[in-house]
Amino acid sequence: MGSVKLRIGIVCYPHFGGSGIVATEIGLGMAQRGHQVHLITTEMPVRARQTTLPIQFHPVEVQDYPLFEFPPYTLALASRLAEIAQREHLDILHLHYAIPHAVSGYLARQILQSGGPRLIVTLHGTDVTRVGCLDSYRSVTRMALLASDAITAPSRYLREVAYPLLDLPTNLPIEVIPNFVDTQRFSPASHRDKQRINNLFPRIPALHNTPILAHVSNFRPVKRIPDVIDTFTSVNQTLPSRLLLIGEGPERRNAAEQIEQRGLQDRVCFLGKREDIVQYLQQCDLMLMPSETESFGLAALEAMSCGLPVIASDVGGLSELIEHQHSGFLAPVYDTHTMAQHAIQILRDPQRLALMRLHARERALQFGDPNAVLQQYETLYLQTLARPSLASPCHLCETHALHPAQEPLDHAHHSQHTHLHSASPLLDDPPPSRPSHPTDLP
């Protein structure tokens, strides 16, 4: 980084889940690059708990009241964002997962009137494909996105579906900035120590040399946990094997029932939410990810980085990430028969499996340069700061105030005033204006 030090507020869901992980890693990376970082969430995010970097954490408290059937988190967050943005002179608020964070960010800036931070919204997946597109949320999410200063998505797929699903004008830029992985931490084991896994399956010692399949997720319906179990059931009928289920979520109970009904409980182990997943992934042979939709598939990328080929549904960002028959396999969504056939085929061919493990790792390495991704975000932050905020009226010429939804998306007029609008007094050499050609995945 140059001499520019930004004051960045990061807003995300702090629990286990891709959007919170990506947001936290961006926060840590920006702090590493010398920026002042503020995490604004209900709890300290999991991956920030051990850090020694000077990151400030601001908890959001949602006050309850007997009248409320649902405590209004969106409002509590908006008030907190306005307070922190003003007190800390934030340049940027980077809002991860549009619902409701984009709306809270919008409200915070309305509270602050002029001089508020630039709003960057990173769409993550179901905020578009499952929730944002619902009648209950579409119009308000759309309004907040149109009022933001920049929007990003982790894949071409999510960018493309966001326009029709959220009814966004096609001239609204959405920049593709892929998820990334720490390839040093998520790395193949130098030697495979199956004892760690064998200890999890004490009842059937005969299984101790059998293949190990893994699934990592937040166990929501979109992850198709029944398809994980169906695929495993078929694989196990042909090739005795074991399954590690890592994560926690609403589908866990159904999964346990399904496993018991099939008499597979001695071959399936629930590990729950954990921070040490690398040590387990390193001992596994394959990862299963039969999701109904997936904007990117960070869990798949982390597994690939540990050298695991992924058997996935051919949807969304998974189709962009996994090279079929090379670093993994893609099959039609819900087609557990084909997924199982792919698994059996590769598990029966140790040489090909070893090669695919290398290819999976190679593919992950293409997403393994956090600095390149951080640079993309940093450039975006600086670009938004170098031009007037798109949402607020141009205070020097209110009659010309443009809204990003309106034609043209022309910043030329406003750029005359850029230096006067620049929110950061620390910017002495503003970068060029917003890119018109968003970047794509490697």
Q: Which residues form the interface with ligand GMT (CB under 6 A)?
A: 17-20, 22, 124-127, 154, 179, 218, 222, 293-298, 317
Sign of the Cα pseudo-torsion (251, 24, 307, 206, in order) = negative
Q: Least CB distance from residue 56 to ligand GMT, whole Å? A: 23
* d(C-alpha 366, C-alpha 320), whole Å: 12
43 φ/ψ angles, rounded to the nearest 5 degrees = -145, 160
The residue number whose beta carbon is nearest to ligand GMT equals 125
Closer CB to ligand GMT, residue 18 or residue 388? 18
The secondary structure of residue 63, as a DSSP letter, is: -
Q: Least CB distance from residue 438 to ligand GMT, whole Å? A: 16
Q: Which one, of 88, 114, 77, 73, lies nearest residue 423 by Cα?
A: 114
Q: Least CB distance from residue 294 to ligand GMT, whole Å? A: 4
β partners of residue 59: 41
51: Cα within 13 Å, side-chain hemisphere: 21
Contact predicate 40/88, CB 8 Å: no
Q: Least CB distance from residue 237 to ligand GMT, whole Å? A: 29
Q: Copy the structure tokens of residue 244.
A: 């590690």
Q: Least CB distance from residue 223 to ligand GMT, whole Å? A: 7
Closer CB to ligand GMT, residue 17 or residue 211? 17
Contact predicate 148/176, CB 8 Å: no
Q: Least CB distance from residue 27 to ligand GMT, whole Å? A: 14
Closer CB to ligand GMT, residue 47 or residue 242? 47
Q: Least CB distance from residue 218 to ligand GMT, whole Å? A: 6
| H or E segment to which residue 7 belongs | strand 7-11
Closer CB to ligand GMT, residue 97 or residue 201? 97
Q: Least CB distance from residue 338 to ligand GMT, whole Å? A: 21
Q: Least CB distance from residue 401 to ligand GMT, whole Å? A: 33
Closer CB to ligand GMT, residue 29 or residue 116? 29
Q: At a CB cut-off of 8 Å and minimum separation 6, what does 37 contact?
A: 8, 10, 27, 28, 30, 31, 53, 55, 56
| H or E segment to which residue 271 belongs | strand 268-272
Residues listed for the chain: 442
Closer CB to ligand GMT, residue 229 or residue 301? 301
Closer CB to ligand GMT, residue 124 or residue 215? 124
β partners of residue 52: none
Closer CB to ligand GMT, residue 155 or residue 424? 155
Q: Least CB distance from residue 154 to ligand GMT, whole Å? A: 4
Closer CB to ligand GMT, residue 19 or residue 24? 19
β partners of residue 270: 245
Q: Position 314: which residue type? A: D
Q: Least CB distance from residue 274 to ligand GMT, whole Å? A: 16
Burial class (CB in 10 A: 0-12, 13-18, 19+), 401: middle
Contact predicate 96/12, CB 8 Å: yes
* d(C-alpha 368, C-alpha 276), whole Å: 19
Q: At a CB cut-off of 8 Å and minimum separation 6, what does 411 contact?
A: 387, 388, 433, 434
- Residue labelled with tokens 């001089």: 115
Closer CB to ligand GMT, residue 27 or residue 154? 154
* d(C-alpha 53, C-alpha 38), whole Å: 11
* d(C-alpha 288, C-alpha 266), whole Å: 19
Closer CB to ligand GMT, residue 18 or residue 211? 18
